[in-house]
Every structure is written in C-alpha cells, then in structure tokens.
Amino acid sequence: MPISKVKDLEVYRLSFDLAINIFKISRSFPKEEKYSLTDQIMRSSKSVSANIAEGYGKRVYPLEFKRHLIYSLGSIEETKSWLEFAKENNYMTEKIFESLYRQCEEVGSKLFRLHEKWT
C-alpha cells in the first residue's frame, strides 16, 4: 500500500492508539498526580505520534524525518518509564501495565525499523 499520508504509516496509527489508551487509563490516577505523573505520561505518549507526524511533514528531507523518528523513540522510552512509576504506585493493574508496555515495545520496534529503512 502506498504511503500518501501519515495515517498510512502503521507505526503512526499504533502510537496514536497507544496514546489514547494511556489517556483513558491515566484519568483514573489520583488527583494529586494530575500535574506530575498524569501530565508527564500523557505528554510523552502523545509526543510519539506527534513527532512522527511532524517528521512526515518534512519527509522531503529524509534526515529531518529520521531525526523526528529518533525523538519518537525517546518519547516511547520515557512513556515506558512513566508506566513503571504508575505500576509501582498501584495506579494500574499488572495486566494493564503489561498490555501498555507491550504496545510501547511494538511501537518502539517499528519506529526503529522505519528509521533504519527510510532513505
């Protein structure tokens, strides 16, 4: 399938879905976490797809797109760290944590491969 818009990239769709899933679960975090953990995990998870989109908009400059993919990789790793904090503080079940963490791993793997293959 030819890529004519950012939504054609599977990694974009997966990262967007991940951010939505994290948004939904983080709404149940304690109120005292609103301006720390909740805000941070939502920002980092949304940053993944946002950087893919921004880079895709600059794809005529391959190195620019690849640079934004690297930013996305950094954001996915940050998101994983915040997930670990949330799990350790019992803000989510082990099952939810594992599911979200697996999603992060899948997105990170696809980002890395896209970065390696983009010309």
- Residue 74 domain-assigned? yes
Residue 59: the pLDDT is 95
Residue 119: the pLDDT is 79
3-state secondary structure of 110: helix
Residue 65: the pLDDT is 97
Q: What angle do CA 111, 97, 25 make, to 5 degrees?
A: 95
Q: Return averaged pLDDT per consecutive 10 residues of the chain, 119 residues in all.
A: 91 98 97 96 98 97 97 98 98 98 98 94
Tokens of 85: 């904090």
- Residue 1 domain-assigned? no
Residue 2: the pLDDT is 79
Residue 21: the pLDDT is 98
For the four alpha carbons of 90, 31, 28 and 100, in that order, the dihedral sign comes to: negative
User: Does residue 9 contact residue 66 with C-beta atoms inside 8 Å?
Assistant: no
Q: How many domains does the chain have?
A: 1
For the four alpha carbons of 109, 75, 95 and 99, in that order, the dihedral sign comes to: negative
- Residue 96 domain-assigned? yes
Q: Is the entire prediction scored with pTM above 0.85?
A: yes
